[in-house]
Amino acid sequence: MSDSKEKAEGGAGGEVVIEVDDVKRHYVTGGGTVKALDGASLTIERGEFLAIAGPSGSGKSTMLNVIGGLDVPDSGEVMVEGKHLGEMRQSQLAALRRDRIGFIFQAYNLNPVLTVLENTEYVMMLQGKPPAERKKLAVDVLEEVGLGDMLDRRPSQLSGGQQQRVAVARAIAGAPAIVLADEPTANLDSTTGQELLDMMERLNRERGVTFVFSTHDPEVMKRASRLIRLRDGKIESEERRR
């Protein structure tokens, strides 16, 4: 293994849940070719609270998308819990995303016609959990994120911070191994953003959920157990805090 790859992987010796090996993802636009990822390698261990930072266009969101199987790299390899994403059929990728990966998006992506409880239950419904079981699990996680008294509200009746809490609850209710959070604090004021991060840190600590963030937010960077900096599709540096 090369020195640069060792640096990117960190090497703390924990159980590896994500491996990104020499991944390239280029897009052709009217202005030419954009190298969103340009030979990036990264290993993520179970239980990390990891942030991927960098300027706009550095490849942060693309990195999350290839890890989550939402985008396909042009070359290189992505593995999640030992499974090669490039060797999986679309139905297998969909099952992996449903059962093992939770997603939190900047725009919340809640279903506007469903209640808080129904939004939180949704992934578990896709997983085939019985109605009584998924309702209990959803209520428990909503209480855990401070929304136990808002089960019947719809997204339009919630503040931005409350909507993002629902998004977090939905992401973890199905007991994923990994949560991918793309700029989760970008649309929140600083106080609400800090409260959301407090909650996610607690879930990471108490439930052992692996969080991987893409972010511009200095507060997310400060709290990360490991900070990866991307520039022009390449891993520029890594800082491990704990």
Q: How many CB atoms lie within 10 A of CB 191?
A: 9
Q: How confident is the model at residue 13 (pLDDT cuts 50, 70, 90)?
A: low
- Distance, CA of 242 to CA of 224 (rounded, Å): 9
Q: Is residue 225 part of a domain?
A: yes
Q: Is residue 180 part of a domain?
A: yes
Q: Is residue 33 part of a domain?
A: no
If one counts the domains in the chain, the total is: 1
What pTM was estimated for this model as a whole?
0.88
Taking only the tens place, the pLDDT of each residue in 130-155 is: 999 999 999 999 998 889 999 999 99
Q: Is residue 23 part of a domain?
A: no
Phi-psi region of 183 (alpha: psi -120 to 50; beta: other; left: phi over 0): left
Whichever domain contains 163, its CATH number is: 3.40.50.300
- Distance, CA of 70 to CA of 90 (rounded, Å): 10
Taking only the tens place, the pLDDT of each residue in 76-133 is: 999 999 999 999 999 999 999 999 999 998 888 999 999 999 999 999 999 999 999 9
Q: In which domain, by residue range, is 231 found?
A: 46-73+83-240
* C-alpha radius of gyration, the chain, whole number: 18
Q: Is residue 65 part of a domain?
A: yes
Residue 14's pLDDT is what? 82
